[in-house]
């Protein structure tokens, strides 16, 4: 009997010790309290002054005006600075960009890690690469290590290898082989979708566009098969589109995400209602459209150090070279691109006001002109230009992007129990959306990971 009781107490003690060790690992012995915070929590409400945020380990343990500071190992007085959620960019490209070119040879671990850090420096803690990744990302475990928090920089979600047409363009590549699927018939699709399911792609990407010329679009039989097979694997489908007619065909066939703006026509009320019924997500990528023509003039941010810090070596010299502005203005797509941008602004406002879930993405990293990190802040500015309020624009880049990527249980807003990914700003973006660029610190999973892109003391 005594041995039984003794064994019982030893067992209980062991369980309690194990729980204590587990709790210790979760909090990592680190408890931070921010006080005197102007809080933008990402849920859409007005900023709240004089708030406190308690972080234990990687998690937000509490938010309130009167949180006790006794449990904190570190108290940081922010003196009225703004805290907002770190941003989530649901449509980017990574790895192939280096210098003034995008090439297959650039896709290295070193280049990817450098670009993940750049995104984080700009306050973007999560990215989703839309269909231009390569086997190395998965075979080396780099993607998984990123998502498991074992690597610095933004967390990398990937659509794996996207779907395009046979002999079509190679998005995000100026040279080298891509790994896109190019089925000529629907019977090829099931095995290709199976391979995406095996690597746990976050979404399936398809390109449906003439790319400003006579490129052949994907046949309905093929894109229907892609959508059907993806849904059988519980994978959602994101579509690159330009034309309203293509968007309508894809939405009629249950596509989940429209990954760019519709730019040839203003969207109809009937199609908006279908999108609402089917809960289609819209990612406008306005920055992509502005970058397609803006260097035909001198944008007001061209000399801004915040912009310059985002550029790959050689790009600034390229876009400021004598004659470059004129070259852009004389390009074949200049007039079309400017007109498409104006339609994109109108469609964003119309869709947002109708209650469509609008998420933030930029297509940054697909070309040297689409600067990683800066593009995400420019996207917010362009959303405000389209008619959204600064808080609504911030919501697309935080809560809405988390919902679009099915990450809202852990990310996207600053609330008790969520991962402590946040940006500290010296300005108030509600007064001026450009104040999102006044980054003083970026925290990832409760730890300071950067002092912003203009600092020489970024954490590695």
> pLDDT by residue (tens digit) across 362-410?
999 999 999 999 999 999 999 999 999 999 999 999 999 999 999 999 9
Closest CA to 223 of 181, 244, 243, 253: 253
pLDDT tens, residue by residue, 61-77: 999 999 988 889 999 99
Closest CA to 183 of 163, 202, 168: 163
| pLDDT tier for residue 449 given thresholds of 50, 70 and 90 | very high
Q: What is the pTM of this model?
A: 0.92
Cα separation values, 337 from 208, 343, 358, Å: 18, 10, 22
Strand-pairing partners, residue 206, are 163, 239
* Token output for 336: 């079309």
Average pLDDT over residues 97-107: 97
| Biggest CA pair distance of the chain | 94
Residue 25 pLDDT > 60: no
Strand 97-98 relative to strand 87-92: parallel, antiparallel, unpaired? unpaired
| pLDDT tier for residue 456 given thresholds of 50, 70 and 90 | low
Task: Pick the range with the lowest mean pLDDT from 2-11, 135-144, 373-382.
Answer: 2-11
C-alpha torsion angle, residues 401, 402, 403, 409 (rounded to 10): -170
Average pLDDT over residues 245-267: 97
Percentage of the chain lying above the pLDDT 90 cut: 88
* pLDDT number for residue 70: 86
* pLDDT number for residue 13: 41
**Enclosing H/E stretch for 110:** helix 109-121
The upper half-sphere exposure of residue 214, i.e. CA atoms within 13 Å in the direction of its Cβ, equals: 0
Cβ-contact 178, 104 below 8 angstroms: yes
Residue 4 pLDDT > 70: no
Average pLDDT over residues 138-164: 98
Q: Round the average pLDDT of the chain to a whole number and report it.
A: 93
Residue 7 pLDDT > 80: no
């Amino acid at each position: 009997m005594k041995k039984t009781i003794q064994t019982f107490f030893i067992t209980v003690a062991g369980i309690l010790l194990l729980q204590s060790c587990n709790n210790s690992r979760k909090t990592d012995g680190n408890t931070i309290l921010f006080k005197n915070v102007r809080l933008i929590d990402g849920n859409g409400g007005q900023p709240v002054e004089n708030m406190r945020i308690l972080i234990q380990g990687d998690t937000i343990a509490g938010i309130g005006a009167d949180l006790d500071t006794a449990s904190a190992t570190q108290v940081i007085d922010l003196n009225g600075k703004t805290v907002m959620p770190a941003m989530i960019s649901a449509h980017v490209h990574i790895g192939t960009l280096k210098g003034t070119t995008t090439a297959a040879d650039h896709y290295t671990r070193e280049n990817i890690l450098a670009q993940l850090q750049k995104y984080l420096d700009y306050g973007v803690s999560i990215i989703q690469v839309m269909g231009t990744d390569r086997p190395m990302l998965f075979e080396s475990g780099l993607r998984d290590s990123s998502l498991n928090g074992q690597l610095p920089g933004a967390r990398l979600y990937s659509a794996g290898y996207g779907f395009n047409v046979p002999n079509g363009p190679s998005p995000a590549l100026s040279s080298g082989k891509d790994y896109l699927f190019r089925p000529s018939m629907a019977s090829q699709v099931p095995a290709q979708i199976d391979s995406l399911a095996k690597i746990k792609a976050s979404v399936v990407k398809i390109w449906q566009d003439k790319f400003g010329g006579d490129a052949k679009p994907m046949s309905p039989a093929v894109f229907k098969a892609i959508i059907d097979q993806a849904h059988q694997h519980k994978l959602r489908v994101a579509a690159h589109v330009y034309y309203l007619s293509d968007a309508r065909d894809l939405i009629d066939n249950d596509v989940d995400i429209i990954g760019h703006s519709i730019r040839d026509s203003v969207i109809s009320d009937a199609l908006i209602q279908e999108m609402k019924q089917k809960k289609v997500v819209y990612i406008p990528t306005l920055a992509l459209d502005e970058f397609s023509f803006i260097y035909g003039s001198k944008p007001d941010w061209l000399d801004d150090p915040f912009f310059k810090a985002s550029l790959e070596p050689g790009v600034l010299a390229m876009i400021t070279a004598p004659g470059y502005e004129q070259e852009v203005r004389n390009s074949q797509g200049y007039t079309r691109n400017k007109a498409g941008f104006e339609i994109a602004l109108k469609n964003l406002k119309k869709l947002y006001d109708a209650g469509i879930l609008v998420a933030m993405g930029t297509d940054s990293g697909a070309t040297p002109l689409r600067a990683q990190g800066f593009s995400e802040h420019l996207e917010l500015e362009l959303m405000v230009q389209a008619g959204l309020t600064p808080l609504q624009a911030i919501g697309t880049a935080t809560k809405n992007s988390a919902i679009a990527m099915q990450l809202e249980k852990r990310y996207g807003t600053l609330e008790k129990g969520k991962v402590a990914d946040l940006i500290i700003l010296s300005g108030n973006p509600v007064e001026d959306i450009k104040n999102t660029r006044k980054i003083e610190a970026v925290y990832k999973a409760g730890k300071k990971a950067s002092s912003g892109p203009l600092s020489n003391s970024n954490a590695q």
